[in-house]
Structure 1
């Protein structure tokens, strides 16, 4: 599970096995038992979330979109794209 970055105790990461064929660009976020998944392509959206407040989801979604270039770079390097 490569960690892309941390933000206020939240870990932004993706799994090394993201499906076959590879799923579109997205990021997972975890803090304690709470977890969420955000699609970044083709359109940014919240895929799912568990145990985060609406305020947290909105903030984390904005952070993911703001850092999409960093996430994409890590994703492409990891998956050899």
Structure 2
């Protein structure tokens, strides 16, 4: 999994040969998001729900 950027605890990465649409994964700690590159649409989000 190639990492493109690490900044302020956020890790921006992608997986080679992954499905369309082109997107990027972003994680910080236990939190995660997947963003479509062409539209910047959020495709997935997982937040650590501390109660």
Structure 2, unaligned runs of 5 or more: none
Give the number of the structure with larger relative contact order, counting CA–CA contacts within 8 Å between residues 6 or more apart: 2
Structure 1 runs, 4 residues or longer, greater than 6 Å off: none
Aligned residues: 48
Deviations 1:16-53 (A, max 9, x none): 2413xxx1221100112111000012x2211111116x
Q: TM-score, normalised by structure 2?
A: 0.77
**In 1, Cα distance between equivalents of 2:11 and 2:22:** 17
Structural RMSD (CA): 1.5
Structure 1, unaligned runs of 5 or more: 53-81
Q: TM-score, normalised by structure 1?
A: 0.52
Which structure has greater strand proportion?
Answer: 2
**In 1, Cα distance between equivalents of 2:32 and 2:3:** 14
2:47 to 48, 51, 58: 51
